[in-house]
Amino acid sequence: MTNKTLFEPYNLGSLTLSNRIAMAPLTRNRAGAGFVPGDLAAEYYGQRASAGLLISEATQISQQGQGYQDTPGIYSQAQIDGWRKVTTAVHAKGGRIFLQLWHVGRVSHIDLQENGSAPVAPSAIRAAAKTFVNNGFIDVSEPRALELGELAGIVNDFQQAAANAIAAGFDGVEIHGANGYLLDQFAKDSANVRTDAYGGSVENRARLMLEVTAAVVAEIGAGRTGIRISPVSPANGVSSSDPQAQFDHIVDQLNALGIVYIHVVEGATGGPRDVAPFDFGSLRRRFKNTYIANNGYDLKLATSRLAEDKADLFAFGRPFIANPDLVERLEAGAPLAQVNPATIYGGGEVGYTDYPAIAASRS
């Protein structure tokens, strides 16, 4: 047991965070024309800058990487400029923010793809999933399998997106390797039945995720690179026949690359923590830098896991939507406001920037 608290400063590589609470990525579908984050996004993230670390909503690295309407990108100059307003607002309040880099793979729809083309995937296996398109949730489209010669382009897109994120003022990036999106699709054999160097064995299925990470490290440095993984989450219809072996190997290799953190979804994303047998302690022991724990954490659980040294930082998701001052509320033992589910995805300021801080709600 330790005497650490959630509300003490923490050194994340060369960055000093004000506390051990991270804001998890939260898709809000409010990007403007050209998939550019606007002034409301700057206000939204600035309101939440008291989190030790803000991790942005998932942000596509290319048009091909988009899977939902009105999600922001990081592949055009206008997008870089839009995100710079966000990072400026966060830094003005003393916050730290990483951008989550995203390629959805097969979790997309032809209406979002260039010229109505099929989404891409490791194998031509349709996901048992829905996506948010044309203001509603509909089934994803049938994907096509990526050709071997296309994979270097995917790696390059992640690398360029990381450079663009730093140009936009982010403190670092988080590679999205979780929740049934492209890199997770390659890692899990329910979605990947390839017979080339990117399919079959544990090592081959990990290859694309690790090549992307190595490229991002080469571009911006290991100290500014994190990754999110979800070893047993069935999100977007993926599963692995050997998750322990698969993710022990992945984390060993991530540790060798020296990245600053792994952000681990423990259990089913947004669901039960005990969805499948898995030793998350094995990942904790294998990885020598920061371990961010995610999924179903509240103040009590995070405090107990910190005391047991099970993680270094703890990510909170939906509570940050309705509580821009979540850190202050948790520290004061104050009640939490509840999220309006009707305003999570899409829209304007309602349900986005109009949730009051506790001081305002008491006045």
Q: For domain 10-362, is the CATH number 3.20.20.70?
A: yes
Cα 107 from chain centroid? 15
- Helical pair 39-47 and 77-92, crossing angle rounded to 10 deg: 30
Q: Is the confidence at residue 109, as pLDDT, over 60?
A: yes
Instruction: State how far the Cα of 9 lies from the Cα of 20, in Å rounded to an integer.
Output: 7
| Rounded average pLDDT over 345-357 | 96
Instruction: State how far the Cα of 291 lies from the Cα of 20, in Å rounded to an integer.
Output: 11
Element (H, E) at 54: strand 53-60
pLDDT of residue 363: 44
Q: Which of 49, 24, 21, 26 has its CA nearest to residue 343?
A: 26
Average pLDDT over the chain reads 96
> Phi and psi dihedrals of 227, rounded to 5?
-150, 145
pLDDT of residue 2: 62
Residue 360: band (very low, low, confident or very high) from pLDDT cuts 50, 70, 90? low
Which residue intervals of the chain are DSSP H helices?
39-47, 77-92, 151-167, 182-187, 202-220, 243-257, 280-286, 299-307, 319-322, 326-332, 358-362
pLDDT of residue 359: 73
Instruction: State how far the Cα of 88 lies from the Cα of 82, in Å rounded to an integer.
Output: 10
Query: Known catalytic residues?
Result: 181
pLDDT of residue 362: 52
Q: Is the confidence at residue 312, as pLDDT, over 60?
A: yes
Q: Which of 138, 214, 140 has its CA nearest to residue 175?
A: 214
Residue 145's DSSP bridge partners are: 121
Instruction: State how far the Cα of 231 lies from the Cα of 37, in Å rounded to an integer.
Output: 30
In percent, how much of the chain has pLDDT > 90? 94
Neighbours of 337 (CB within 10 A): 19
Measured CA angle at 151 (ends 147, 156), to 5 deg: 150
- Helical pair 151-167 and 77-92, crossing angle rounded to 10 deg: 40
List, in order, residues 6 or more apart from 97 with CB less than 8 Å away.
Answer: 45, 49, 53, 54, 55, 56, 86, 87, 90, 91, 170, 171
Tokens of 77: 């100059």
Q: Is the confidence at residue 1, as pLDDT, over 90?
A: no
Q: By the 8 A CB rule, do 353 and 40 touch?
A: yes
Convert the pLDDT of each residue in 168-226 to its tens digit.
999 999 999 999 999 999 999 999 999 999 999 999 999 999 999 999 999 999 999 99
pLDDT of residue 272: 82
